[in-house]
Amino acid sequence: MIPMDHYRSTAHELLEKISAGQASARDIEESLKARISQTDPRVKAYVRLAEQNSSDCAGVATKSGPLAGIPIAVKDNICTEGIETGCCSKILGGFKPPYDATVITRLRAAGASIIPSKLNMDEFAFGSSTENSCFGPTHNPWDLGRVPGGSSGGSAAAVAADEAIMALGSDTGGSIRQPAAFCGVVGLKPTYGRVSRYGLIAFASSLDQIGPLTKDVHDACLLMNVIAGPDPMDSTSCSSQPPDYTRSLVQDVKGLSIGIPKEYFVEGMDPEVKEIVREAIKKIESLGAKTKEVSLPHTQYAVPVYYIIATAEASSNLARFDGVQYGLRSSDKRQITGSKLIDMYKHTRGEGFGPEAKRRILLGTFALSHGYYDAYYLRALKVRTLIWRDFKNVFEECDCLLTPTTPTPAFNIGEKTDDPLQMYLSDVLTISANLAGIPAISIPCGFTRAGLPVGMQMLAPAFKEETLFKAAFTYEQATPWHTMKPKL
């Protein structure tokens, strides 16, 4: 009789069970498959849900490696050979990559199995709610009427609902951390260049990073140990070897200097979120950390700077999707090949991209257009440098920063779809880390009176993920929040 509760466990707990002969890769797979069948019709974290291949997972049990026997769920913008990968967009319908992303290659080499179904997301990672998917929205496991955040909403919801042991997401302006906060799980945006972007379908190439969404900090360390490191296939990856992140799993923040940026407790922030994060600050102080108020004066410009740079890069990256070699091609009878090739492009892109993708392509193309490049894009790059300098100056006087991850808890599905500006402001506290290229983590720090999770964000200097892991692990182990589960 297979124990059917393996899906509840963390990866490090399952590795101990496998080592002790109390579980096998097949046991874990069957348990997870049953859980997904039971809950995903309501959560809708997965798209193109496929049957797991038991023989493949059984083969994993014979392999050695730090994640042997552990199934990994993957966001729909990370390439997996032979497994459909479409960024939850109609324009990439039917596309099966002929290669694995570097992170997938490394996971397979570490003995992990890749779940052959992808996790839901906002189309091309354009959004903060996973409502911009051609498959429809994912539902927050804590309240099925609310969003899970975005764009990695499927990844966060799957981990929170115990439909995944661990998951990969991507973060361009908060797309790992914001859904992690909304769903009560751990989400890390690594330093830009720490994890290879080869095989990640690009949104904004100077901002994108792949990272883990996990049930606790220990699992995030395990996953980072496998996926981080230099990659000759990615010219922006850092050439230095990463440390063993599990060495950061030490409960000790005595003497750690933590800055509290005054600009991150913004006007209009939900009072409960502010109160819960303030209590988290008191808790980490009681564990021995020293806190001080600091200032990041250019924070107010982060949202407009981000939505110029990110949309400009998106319009450039998405120009390749034209219906010629793969994905959707319009069947509109008005298009004629040859001299009317431009009509085929127009109809294909018109049918294939959703409203938010079109909005961002138009914004980005405008920002890069003749006569506006200097006024918008070039100026945004200069202000980005000022934001980076703010962090550089602050980190000369403190080891890391602590802020809320989001200004509100998860909002209702449909609440912000008619107001793009309000949706964009959902990322106001996460965007700056991407602009500066620094690592940031979100961990659960409490619940609202309505039972919704609240996330606490910590930020550190570039390539100082160990500082984040140590501080986050110390707080996590002294609090119960990461052990709480939604009632599905």
Please confirm, yes or no, whether 175 is among the known catalytic residues.
yes
- Concatenating the DSSP letter of every residue in 90-153 gives GGGTT---SS--HHHHHHHHTT-EEEEEEEP-SGGG--SSS-S-TT----BTTBTTB---SSSH
Rg (CA), the chain: 21
The span from the first CA to the last CA of the chain, in angstroms, equals 24
- Active-site residue identified among 113, 133, 175, 196: 175
Which of 17, 75, 90, 118 does the annotation list as catalytic?
75
Exposed, middle or buried by CB within 10 Å (0-12, 13-18, 19+), for 59? middle
Active site residue 118: no
Q: Which two tokens stand for residue 187?
A: 């989400």
Q: DSSP letters along 278-331, please?
A: HHHHHHHHHTT-EEEEE--GGGGGHHHHHHHHHHHHHHHHGGG-SSSSSS----
Total residues belonging to the chain: 488
Q: What is the dihedral of CA 163, 167, 171, 174, to 10 degrees?
A: 40
HEC per residue, 207-230: CCEEEEEECCHHHHHHHHHHHECC
Set 113, 128, 129, 151: catalytic member: 151
Nearest to 245 by CA among 230, 226, 261, 264: 226
Residue 166 forms beta bridges with which residues?
A: 72
From its phi and psi, is residue 30 left (phi > 0), alpha (psi between -120 and 50) or beta? Answer: alpha
Q: Is 151 a catalytic residue?
A: yes
CA distance 280 to 455: 10
Residue at token pair 């490394």: 106
SS3 state at 263: helix
CA 196 to chain CA centroid, Å, is: 15
**Residues with catalytic function:** 75, 151, 175
